[in-house]
Amino acid sequence: MDNSTEGPTDSTEGPIDVALAAHVERALAEYLAERHAGMAEMAPSFGSAVASLSAFVLGGGKRIRPTFAWWAWRGAGGPGDGEQARAVLRAVSALELIQACALVHDDLMDASAVRRGKPTVHVEFAARHRDRGWRGDPERFGAAAAVLLGDLALAWADDMYVAAGLAADRRAAALVPWQAMRAEMLAGQYLDVLTQAKGDESAEAALSVARMKTAAYTVERPLHMGAALAGAPEPVVTGLRAFGADIGVAFQLRDDLLGMFGDTDVTGKPAGDDLREGKRTLLMSEGVRRADAAGREVDARVLRSALGDENLASATVARVRELLVDLGAVAAVERRIDGLTESALAALGSVELAEPAGEVLAGLAVSATRRSS
């Protein structure tokens, strides 16, 4: 992994609305460079680890969370430029540090080897231990580093939010969704591992994980945060949250499909990883349920045995894919995504927003649920 802490080269001199992702990148790069410099001076060895965290944060991602938060802010009447807008930009950019915490810890819990086409943090640090001939177990060292760096990302998310320069009343108002989002993310992570441990195959369990682990902190709460920063009235907050909840679940269902059928070169993760990790997704729930209902015992056994098999062969992954299509599970999930997108857009249409925010959010909803990576 590249240890550089330099930010993007994109110009961020233009309006925030026009180049939002570049502005987010710049805000993150500046904040991380400042924190890295302080850590490197205090403890050079830890500074090297922090450089890896910075590279991870700045090494990819669509910046979906800040984007939803920003357009909720704009839709609720927040200005697109000026010092107040730039304070909000810094505050919503901190969402990417919460995301970094979630990804680093999730990769460790799932024993994932690759993220965005590169070694995951725990794998990187295990290799660092091994290459340098340090004492002890490399994998245990890598796990410890991932726990600590994920925790650091979460702590710095709070720090970046507090130091963003928000007015005190706005910072306090947005603290409600901010705090709820962190707790819901962790609850979702726990439900994910609990569902795997219990072997719960139900659609209800899969959707519960999708709501808590993805929908809440990816879309619903960022929208809530942006609206709160703008002082939006309760009907606007309620409508945006309803929109975000449905789009967030649809986003996760699309992610599940990509995890099974996506191109590794595009997604950055090996196809079939969810199977090897034992993820009880709605896709697999539908497949098993339909195989059972049709009396296809052999096919149901293939699906169940694939879940959690760390040594799953590519041929078996291909067979599972065939079965999920043949059983109608893929089509069922696609219909669920379409239904959630439709209900989300209806909720969005009921909210009075300053344009172009409504149009942008509707576009984001479609792109989030039809994406290929």
Residue with tokens 């910046």: 63
Judged by average pLDDT, the poorest of 37-41, 91-95, 126-130 is 37-41
Name which of 28, 32, 35 is nearest 89 in CA terms.
28
Which H helix or E strand runs over 240?
helix 234-261
Give the model's confidence band at 12: pLDDT under 50 very low, under 70 low, under 90 confident, else very high: low
Average pLDDT over residues 139-167: 97
- Residues whose CB is less than 8 angstroms from the CB of residue 220 and which lie 6 or more positions away in sequence, other chains included: 241, 244, 245, 248
Percentage above 70 pLDDT, the chain: 96
pTM of the model: 0.92
Determine the Cα–Cα distance for residues 156 and 167; give it in Å rounded to an integer: 20
What is the rounded CA–CA span in Å between residue 324 and residue 257? 10
In angstroms, the CA 72 to CA 202 distance is 34
Q: Rounded distance, CA 102 to CA 186, Å?
A: 8
User: What one-character-per-residue DSSP string does 194-220 give?
Assistant: HHHHHT---HHHHHHHIIIIIIIIIII
Helix (H, G, I), strand (E, B), or coil: what is residue 11? coil
Partners of 114 in beta bridges: 119
Confidence of residue 1 (pLDDT cuts 50, 70, 90): very low
How does DSSP assign 125-145, residue by residue?
A: HHHHHHHTT-SS-HHHHHHHH
Give the tokens for residue 172.
């306090």
The average pLDDT across 38-67 equals 92
Confidence of residue 8 (pLDDT cuts 50, 70, 90): very low
**Hey, where are the domains in the chain?**
1-60+95-163, 168-373
- Tell me: pLDDT of 324 over 70: yes
**Residue in the structure block whose two tokens are 């929208």:** 223
From the options 1.10.3720.10, 3.40.50.1100, 1.10.8.50, 1.10.600.10, give the CATH code of 168-373: 1.10.600.10
Angle between the N-to-C axes of helices 329-349 and 234-261, in degrees from 0 to 180, rounded to the nearest 10: 160
Nearest to 180 by CA among 188, 170, 192: 188
What local confidence, expressed as pLDDT, does residue 89 receive? Answer: 98
Residues 179-199 pLDDT 10s = 999 999 999 999 999 999 999
- The predicted-structure confidence for 351-368, as pLDDT tens digits, reads as follows 999 999 999 999 999 999
pLDDT band at 10 (very low <50, low <70, confident <90, very high): very low
Looking at residue 7, its pLDDT comes to 41
Residue showing tokens 């702590």: 155
Q: How confident is the model at residue 291 (pLDDT cuts 50, 70, 90)?
A: very high
